[in-house]
Amino acid sequence: MSPRTKVMRGQYWINALLLDEIILEIFRHLDSKHTRDACSLVCKRWLSLERLGRTTLRIGVSGNPEFFIHLHSTRFPNIKTIHIDERLSIPLPSQLGRKRRKCTNESPAGSSDLKLHGVFQEDMSEAEQFDSCSFSDLGLITIGDQFPALERLSLFWCSNVSSLGLVSLSHKCSLLKSLDLQGCYVGDGGLAAIGRCSKQLQELNLRFCEGLSDVGLVELAEGCSNSLKSLGVAACAKITDKSLVAVGSHCKSLETLSVDSEFIYNDGVLAIAEGCPLLKVLKLQCINVTDDALIAVGKYCSSLEALALYKRFTDRGLCAIGAGCEMLKNLTLRDCYFLSDQGLGSIATGCKELTHLEINGCLNIGTMGLEAIGRSCTRLTELALSYCQRIGANALHEIGKGCKFLEVLHLVHCSSIGDDAICSLAMGCTNLRKLHIHRCYEVGNRGIMAIGENCKSLADLSLKFCERVGDEALVSIAQCHSLQTLNVSGCHQIGDAGIIAIARGCPDLSHLDVSMLQNLGDMALAELGEGCPALKEIVISQCRQVTDVGLSHLVRHCAMLESCHAVYCPGVTAAGIATLVSHCPNMTKVLVEKWKVSETTKRRTGSVISYLCIDL
């Protein structure tokens, strides 16, 4: 660099040499919002450029959301995506409780920031306070005025939004491609307006939109016939087969359909199958849809890649899927009591591309069905078995032999699976990265030791309430040096020795749950502090031998700790909690009993303290 380059405070000032395009490219390569925010503080120029490049805005409703949106429109002019969630709110600071003012929707630009936190008049009722600080039609009008190039909008549980706001939005945001109205009580008029004006709409979610009926959805299907690709409907009592028939007739490009309704029957799904040949994802939680609909899907939807079924389907329907949907990659079966090994065998025979399989509560599916999957579906990468009492060791033996690419395995309440099954799987599926075994009481040290010896890439291990697993197993797991998440809650045989081995062998550990381990003490926490500096979350609830001493050793070196649950730890006192919050600057949540938090700790870090609710 030339010595003539401008120098500021003894350093070369290269900022003036960087083009705006280069700085914007730097921001595009930053993965997290936290990192982008930090880089934007270099100078005012970097801050303004970061704002130009920001395309997403997330808002938790509180105070005056309309004013908040207007304020951010001037700072972030290129916003394409907005998420608004009524469930998220900014808490009212306690010191403002005595100074209450009215929160109005016509706040001037110079209004106090107190209005963004929701400060109310003393004579306002609780309902009035809620309404005054909830996202409403005025907010949608503001979004339409300030962000005309908006492409994606999510409104979660915004109950004060109605058709009036949606009509206004539709006229101003004609480029809208994705709309999520989950939990919003909008009417048919608003949805019809979206259909008339938003001709590029591709994704629509109508979960829990109780105010909608067939009238609105039919008109939207007619208006967005050339663009709609994804539709989700759940708990909408007035939406029936008539709507799905309209979608099937008009929306030939539909690729994803998710329906959870007791008011949908075969006719609607038949219309979708016959009219939407490009369908790739189908999720049906409809107690009145039967095998006849699945047979149509198998016949007409050869491009189907993901299928989720619930309740009433039988082998007849699943065999049709196996015969006609050879591109199927993801299959979820939940509480399908009438399915058996025959249906799953048909999937194994016809769907060789299967990569994800979940079987939950299908009581008649047993070992033979899963053996067929292991022999035929060699590309399987994820397997989840829950409440499958009839699936035994031979099933996982075949999975281990045939599915060499398996990376994720979930086993919940599978009483017939024990150490032999886990050993067979460990020797064959050496690429395993995530293993969750919950309440499988026949799984013990031998099976988990085989995992540690063979699956060196393991990053996530959960063994909740596997009561036969002890320290010997964790000593072997310590060979998995990439381990980041470990949950051994309720594994009563695990004590200091096992956790110490993990601390010494797994330096990247970031999430740890050791709750309800009666033999765990301060020595293990001290070793964790020394060996796992990246630890972010720890749960030590109901560890009766843990004291303030162990907690102080832990936090001395784990400066990145963000969350700690320490309920029912009699050896942890108010002094230990004070040490915890004072030594961890990144702490966002501490769950303890209320009486263990001193007044000083409350004043200093009250916002991160959560209390166990026992007054039920």
**Using 50, 70 and 90 to split pLDDT, how confident is the model at 7?**
very low
pLDDT recorded at residue 37: 76
Distance between CA 222 and CA 200 in Å, rounded? 13
The DSSP string of 54-105 is: --EEEEE--S-HHHHHHHHHHH-TT--EEEEETT--PPPPGGGTTS-----S
Whether the CB-CB separation of 59 and 85 falls below 8 Å is answered with: yes
CA 75 from chain centre, in angstroms, equals 29
Nearest to 360 by CA among 392, 336, 328, 394: 336
pLDDT at position 133 over 80: no
Mean pLDDT of 458-482: 98
Distance between CA 57 and CA 40 in Å, rounded? 16
pLDDT at position 14 over 90: no
pLDDT recorded at residue 13: 67
- Model confidence over 489-540: pLDDT tens digits? 999 999 999 999 999 999 999 999 999 999 999 999 999 999 999 999 999 9
DSSP 3-state of 168: helix
Q: Considering only 10-14, 159-163, 227-231, which range has the smallest mean pLDDT?
A: 10-14
> What is the percent of the chain where pLDDT is above 90?
74
Distance between CA 227 and CA 243 in Å, rounded? 17
Mean pLDDT of 440-454: 97
Tokens 């009926």 sit on residue: 213
Give me the numbers of helices (H) and strands (E) for the chain, helices first please: 24, 23
Whether the CB-CB separation of 228 and 201 falls below 8 Å is answered with: yes
pLDDT recorded at residue 530: 96
Instruction: Report the Cα–Cα distance between both ends of the chain, in Å, rounded.
Output: 69
**Using 50, 70 and 90 to split pLDDT, how confident is the model at 29?**
confident
DSSP bridge pairs for 334: 310, 360
DSSP bridge pairs for 511: 485, 537
What is each CA distance from 347 to 217, 307, 333, 351, in whole angstroms? 34, 12, 12, 5
Whether the CB-CB separation of 181 and 156 falls below 8 Å is answered with: no
- Model confidence over 416-434: pLDDT tens digits? 999 999 999 999 999 999 9
Q: Output the pTM of the full model.
A: 0.86
Q: Is 145 exposed, middle or buried (0-12, 13-18, 19+ CB in 10 A)?
A: middle
Q: Is 557 exposed, middle or buried (0-12, 13-18, 19+ CB in 10 A)?
A: middle
pLDDT recorded at residue 64: 72
pLDDT at position 141 over 70: yes
Q: Is the dihedral of CA 340, 345, 346, 350 positive or negative?
A: positive
Query: Average pLDDT of the chain?
Result: 89
Domains by residue range for the chain, with CATH: 17-53 (1.20.1280), 55-147 (no CATH)
The residue ranking higher by pLDDT, 510 or 2, is: 510
Distance between CA 324 and CA 347 in Å, rounded? 10
pLDDT recorded at residue 10: 46
pLDDT recorded at residue 63: 59
Nearest to 61 by CA among 142, 130, 145, 107: 130
- Model confidence over 220-273: pLDDT tens digits? 999 999 999 999 999 999 999 999 999 999 999 999 999 999 999 999 999 999
- Model confidence over 363-389: pLDDT tens digits? 999 999 999 999 999 999 999 999 999
pLDDT at position 613 over 90: no
Whether the CB-CB separation of 333 and 358 falls below 8 Å is answered with: yes
In what helix (H) or strand (E) does residue 590 lie, and over which residues does it extend?
strand 589-592
pLDDT recorded at residue 24: 76
Mean pLDDT of 559-576: 95
Q: Which amino acid is at 407?
A: E
pLDDT recorded at residue 61: 64
